[in-house]
Structure 1
Amino acid sequence: MPVIGLLTKARFDVKDIPDLTGRVAIVTGGNTGIGRPTVAELARKGAKVYLAARSPDRANEAIQAIKSTTPTVNIVYLQLDLSDLDSVKRAAEEFLSKETQLHTLINNAGIMATPYSETPQGYEIQWGTNYMGHFLLTQLLLPTLVSTASASAPGSVRLVNVSSNGHELFDTKSGINFSDVNMKNGGPWSRYGQSKLANVLHAKAVADRYRAKNILTASVHPGGVNTELTRGLNETSILYRPITWVTKNISLTPDQGALSSLFAATSPEHTFEVNGEYYGPKATKAVPSMLARDKGLRDRLWVWSEEEMGRLGFA
């Protein structure tokens, strides 16, 4: 399968999305990149969608842009800064103060190959944003996902983690560096790869633990998409600028990149027989790395993550 996905034949189209009237969804990073068409298509099919993002101005601009073409959509802004676990907790509390159901959680937001910095809780910024923030958000919303699933048709309640084939291209060869998850001696790409590996492991771990509760999960590699994700490269080094220029000119569009998330979140073809599946560009079947398929590693990551939440007072 091509890394970019340009030559990949689409398995799914937005016209295949079933009616979502009455469903409630959250999409993190829904203001830009593949998040924006993900929000738009879910809402156009009748879902009430919470667009979770850090900037109110950018989120509201995205909402208005979508409404300019489809005025009837129901999209609500949810303030969320994934790099700060306090913000994650506030976002979950705000959502739960308004809703008693949640059918779809798409952990879409992410950053890539950014310069080293740390979150307020002391995590390297990519690990904290791409994985830890989404882990906590999911944990806080799982009781509502479970209760919604208990009153819904099987397969109606879903978790989708947007990962990347970077989990394999830039892995650390040993999986998750539990002795130093910040990887201070590593580079921006290896830190990115570790965070994206964690996204795949997390989706499968939720499938393991919540299959009996009718929670359907998946992780996806959307392909090489022309989005703002590459801005981290330019911040890291000017040497990456030729890469971002090439990527911009040969990449998938955000609409194409969103197909994998939308398939995993809505398609009847994603079933409990493939719970925890990993999909590639344009909703094609794909195989994650050997480390991503390691049950021992995903169990260890789950326990470690729960312990971290307890240590920080979020459990």
Structure 2
Amino acid sequence: MTISHPEFNEKTTATEVASAFAGQIQGKNVVITGVGPNSLGEALALSIATQKPANLFLASRTETKVQEVANKVQALAPGTAVETVILNLASQQSVHAAASKIQGLVDHIDIIINNAGMMVLDRDATEEGIEIQFGTNHIGHFLFTNLLMAQLKNAAKASGPGSTRIINVTSAGHRLSPIRFHDYNFEGKDIPSDERPPDGLPPMFSPTASGYNGWLAYGQSKTANILFTVYLTQHLASAGIVSYSVHPGSIWTGLSRNLDESANETMSKTSNFWKTADQGAATMLVAAFDPNLKVVSDPSAVYLSDCQFATAVPHAVSLKPAERLFRLSEELVGEQFPL
């Protein structure tokens, strides 16, 4: 399986991708999380809006910010139906409320792009006491997606196999850590060797005396995004739903707003090419709308970067930890989701 546009690369923009896949976007109900001004979410919303989707659901924890983007969408594409949704992924109560609002407005959802994410270096927790990056970047999206599963399955029944998709935004940072099933909150508990960070990482990635390291916690959450995709791919194929996980590339966005000067300097050295938001959103749209990607035959072939397939590290694409993570996630939200 290949991407339908081999010429797409790190410099391709979401605007270009949306134009290429206009026929796949038209008439679709699309949900995007993490939508705020000057963000990847905004770039996604604006590019999709130009191609006549049926409905755009823009989700953010901050009402003023998501409304600002909604206003831009309506100015750019006046005929687009836009709904704003308040979604705080660090609160399972908020996730339930957001999903309930969408459920009350449409009976089917064609595309969910789980774009929201955060990165912090200091320990924090969700309302439920889960480490903030794991709880927000993965658990919040896990719950949100599963609560909307009936709407996704309805769309798949009507549109044919592979047109209904779940896109989970990850990062090359997944290389920093597997899932620490014995210590997912980074409390300093003893963990087996297969849950430890890879050998050879610089000292800045070592756990502190408290057991916490924000970089590793971020890496764990990004591994979780890919493993969630692997699980969905395995269990939703029969329903006609596919899932892909996307590394958007290096972009200066609000993700780094919680980092200090030293951490931002470290981030600046991680890439030789820094994308605009429009370029950063491009790979998500390839994953969401490229008609060539209707089937995932290999569960490890779910990771895209720079608008093409890429290789994730083994701990992020293995079936056993994907299954184990799904069970842990169900436990942490107090609900079971048979797919």
TM beyond 0.5: yes
Aligned twin of 2:205: none
1:18 to 2:19 alignment = no
Which secondary structure state, in structure 2, belongs to the residue aligned with residue 135 of structure 1?
A: helix
The within-5 A match list for 1:76-95 is: 76-95=83-102
| Distance of aligned partners of 1:80 and 1:299 in 2 relative to their CA distance in 1, 3 Å threshold | same
Tell me if 1:28 matches 2:22. Answer: no
Whether 2:179 is the aligned partner of 1:180: answer no
Q: C-alpha offsets along residues 242-266 of structure 1, whole Å, 9 cap, x if unaligned?
A: 3456689951001000011101111
Specify the code of the residue in structure 2 equivalent to 1:198: A
Taking every aligned residue pair, what percent have the same amino acid on both sides?
A: 31
State the match for 1:102 in structure 2. Answer: 109
Matches within 5 A, 1:184-195: 184=187, 185-195=211-221
Equivalent pair of 2:162/2:294 in contact (CA under 8 Å): yes
2:133 corresponds, among 115, 126, 130, to: 126
Q: Deviations over 1:264-285 (max 9, x none)?
A: 1111121204575434433111
Task: Name which of 282, 291, 304 aligns with 1:268.
Answer: 291
Corresponding residue number in structure 2 for 1:4: none
TM-score, normalising length from structure 1? Answer: 0.89
Larger displacement relative to structure 2 (246-255 or 200-209) = 246-255
Q: CA RMSD in A?
A: 2.2
TM-score by length of 2: 0.83
Bigger shift: 82-91 or 112-121?
A: 112-121
| Residue pairs, 1:36-51, within 5 angstroms | 36-47=42-53, 48-51=55-58
Structure 1's unaligned 5+ residue stretches are 1-6
> In structure 2, the residue corresponding to 1:205 is in which secondary structure?
helix
Partner of 1:3: none
Select which of 282, 303, 311 maps to 2:327: 303
Pairs within 5 Å for 1:221-300: 221-234=247-260, 238-243=261-266, 250-274=273-297, 277-300=301-324
- Measured in 1, the distance between the counterparts of 2:69 and 2:114 equals 18
Contact 1:218 1:279 in 2 (8 A): yes
Q: Name the counterpart of 2:81.
A: 74
How far apart are the structure 2 equivalents of 1:314 and 1:88? 16
Q: Taking structure 1 as reference, are residues 125 and 142 closer, same or farther at Cα in structure 2, changes over 3 Å only?
A: same
Q: 1:283 to 1:245 in 2, by over 3 A?
A: closer
Instruction: Tell me: CA distance 1:177–1:166, structure 2 relative to 1, closer, same or farther (3 Å).
Output: same
Q: Deviations over 1:275-308 (max 9, x none)?
A: 7543443311101111012111101111121222
Distance 2:313 2:271 in 1: 26
1:21-76 deviation digits (Å, cap 9, x = unpaired): 32111100022421111112222211111000011101111111233333222221
Structure 2's unaligned 5+ residue stretches are 1-8, 188-210
What residue number does 2:203 align with? none
More helix by share: 1
Change (3 A) 1:227 1:267: same
Q: Is the 8 A contact 2:11 2:275 kept in 1?
A: no
Aligned residues: 300
> What amino acid maps onto 1:182 in structure 2?
N
Distance of 2:234 and 2:252 partners within structure 1: 33
Q: Contact 1:233–1:244 at 8 Å: present in 2 too?
A: no
Distance 2:314 2:254 in 1: 29
Offset of 1:10 from its aligned partner?
4.2
Assess, with a 3 A threshold, how the Cα gap between structure 1 residues 246 and 166 changes in structure 2: closer, same or farther. closer
Contact 1:216–1:275 (CA<8 Å) still a contact in 2? no
